[in-house]
Amino acid sequence: MKKGDYIVFAAIVLLSGVLLAVSLSGKSGKSIEISCDNKHYKSYPLNKNGEYKIKTQGGENTLIIEDGHACFKNSDCPDKTCEKMGKISKAGDSIVCLPHRVVAEVED
């Protein structure tokens, strides 16, 4: 362990702090816009809790809106990447389901 190592550690912690601050800031969105194949499908308000089934040519994704967050659950796509993307709530955030070509984006 040399002196420079501590500088590296400090820099990493600092960078993480900055990234955390950036991710926590950001406007909360008002609605979720779902598009399929880059064409508008439907929009849902983020302030009303609900479960919506999005049926497209590829299959079905379940969009869950709860407490101002939205996430995909119970998608029948093969890789389930969309479910792993977690919850979105800030303007500009989006979740993508590549196999079904579905994009859910938060609008403010």
Q: Write out the residues near other proteins by the rule CB under 8 A.
A: 1-9, 11-13, 15-17, 19-20, 22-23, 79, 81, 84-88, 92-96, 98, 103
List of residues 6+ apart from 24 with CB closer than 8 A: none
Give Cβ neighbours of residue 95 (< 8 Å, ≥ 6 apart): 70, 71, 72, 82, 85, 86, 88, 103, 104
Q: Rounded CA gap, 16 and 105, in Å?
A: 26
Nearer to other proteins, 56 or 94 (CB): 94
Of the pair 28, 81, the CB lying nearest other proteins is at 81
To other proteins, the closest distance from the beta carbon of 16 in angstroms equals: 4
The least distance separating other proteins from the CB of residue 50, rounded to whole angstroms, comes to 19
